Structure 1
């Protein structure tokens, strides 16, 4: 059992903010598409999800702002990827927990 007194309040706050950012169906789908070290552009993600590019950019901005995603500009494109590969385990856990 984890002793709550040992946990750092700043780390807990960061973790909570990351979870809040992930807590949206489209953002979970984005994470799923970025599993396995994939790097995708806004255009690629919006085409995969079938939503507007501006909506995709909005979701990516939230995930990036909260430390879930990173972005790297290469030429005209910006590629998005998981900041920590282990975050995909959260999505896997959610899939397991929601199966009937």
Structure 2
């Protein structure tokens, strides 16, 4: 047993837990999936695909922005959302790979 050790440093584990808590909702995981497919999308574009109320979608996006998962960029009247770190899309691959989901 003495050869067992935690292979990820504490700071990385804390960040992973923080991000996973933030995205632990079907709508938020769907947003990540959509932003993987198309680099940036507006609230209207996301709403059209997700079929959720704009206020609910905005709530999720604000939470994800505040936690550093997505970024925003204003262009004229539109605000575009994109992923802050594309590595988060590995979550989608993990979900596809899990046989028990």
TM range (shorter): 0.7 to 0.9
Matched residue, 2:84: 83
Residues 5/93 of structure 1: CA separation in 2 closer, same or farther (3 Å cut): closer
> Where do 4+ consecutive residues of structure 1 move more than 2 Å?
1-6, 11-15
Q: Does the CA contact (< 8 Å) of 1:37 and 1:82 recur in 2?
A: no
Superposition TM-score, scaled by structure 1 size: 0.84
Structure having the higher Rg: 2
CA RMSD, 1 decimal: 2.4
Tell which deviates more after alignment, 60-69 or 12-21: 12-21
Matched residue, 1:57: 58
Q: Mark the runs of 5 or more structure 1 residues left unpaired by the alignment.
A: none
Superposition TM-score, scaled by structure 2 size: 0.83
Residues 2/87 of structure 1: CA separation in 2 closer, same or farther (3 Å cut): farther
The Cα shift of 1:5 comes to 8.7
Q: How many residues align?
A: 99
